[in-house]
Amino acid sequence: MLPYASNKSTSWEVKARGHKCTETDEPFEEKEFLMSRLMSGAEGMVREDYKLSAWDKDKQAEALFYWKTQYRLPPVKKEAAFKEENAEEILRQMVEEKDESSVNVVFLLAVMLERKRILIERGVQRDAEGRQIRIYEHKESGETFLIPDPELSLDQIEEVQQEIALKLGWIKAEVVPVNILFLCTGNSCRSQMAEGWAKHLKAESLQAFSAGIEKHGLNPNAVKVMAEAGVDITAQSSQHIDEFKEVPLDVVVTVCDRAHESCPVFPEDCKVVHVSFDDPPTLAKALAESGGDEEAQLAIYRRVRDEIREFVEGLPGSLEA
């Protein structure tokens, strides 16, 4: 056959099966055999469906491609026949998007659905650019899927299969945790809270540490308010920044102004971010001196705790800004 006049963006698409004869306008009946053909139009392939009584040699000769099929009523929406039901859904979405970078994935998804007997290959046609277009018919809906064949080599298939497995959720992408250090003055409160939240909320994406430019010990009120929020930081300890000279850090977050001003020089590949939070011990002490009770003082710790949580929840994405 001659290639049909079309560009790449219209070479792959889904063509719905008609429910009545193109020539006579008579509706098809359930399980009735009919003839389908593809014609070359200004916008790409055009599908037409005919009753056997309306089919003749002239229509056959004019066809770009034709086949005999059986009409079935549109299927009732039901659970897919196999657990990889996302395969068909993703295939339809990608065909609609016509993203040339997805051609390999689209083709292997179609092959997968063919092996599951959801799609039936009806033939092969070449488009105007000479690329093979495989013609598949959906077993139940009768839709025609025009799928480019990228003619993959064996060494390319495994990589594409990995990409499909990720899209279908069969495997999870390997996440390399970001080594992040929260730095404050004495590593007693704010940086300890940040480390605790990072370990509690972002264990898969962050390897969290905390340190201070001095060591003041773990603040008991910080421990208390974190426990109220369901995070136990009693196993954490106050550490000096010098203890991390040999740790390959990706990010250092200074959580107080003094630590930021005294922050040591880190390697060029380590990003330093400054996010200043109020110092609960200092504010609580001032409040106590003015007559504030213990509950009012703890309220300061809770406010800063929640502000730090909000910041950590945005990690590591917010670090790209």
> Catalytic residues, which ones?
184, 256, 263
Question: Which two three-digit tokens encode residue 23?
Answer: 């020539």
Per-state percent for the chain, helix, strand, coil, to nearest 5: 35, 25, 40
How many residues comprise the chain?
A: 321
- Nearest C-alpha neighbor of 7 from the set 128, 133, 146, 149: 128
Angstrom distance (rounded) from CA 209 to CA 196: 9
- Nearest C-alpha neighbor of 255 from the set 234, 277, 232, 222: 277
Whole-angstrom CA distances from 231 to 41, 194, 195, 267 are 65, 11, 11, 32
Angstrom distance (rounded) from CA 314 to CA 12: 39
- Three-class SS of residue 121? strand
Question: Which two three-digit tokens encode residue 223?
Answer: 């421990």
Are 277 and 260 in contact by the 8 Å Cβ rule? The answer is no
Whole-angstrom CA distances from 83 to 141, 154, 169, 182 are 19, 26, 11, 44
Signed CA dihedral, 288, 292, 297, 303: sign only: negative
H helices of 98-241, in order, are 103-115, 154-167, 190-201, 220-228
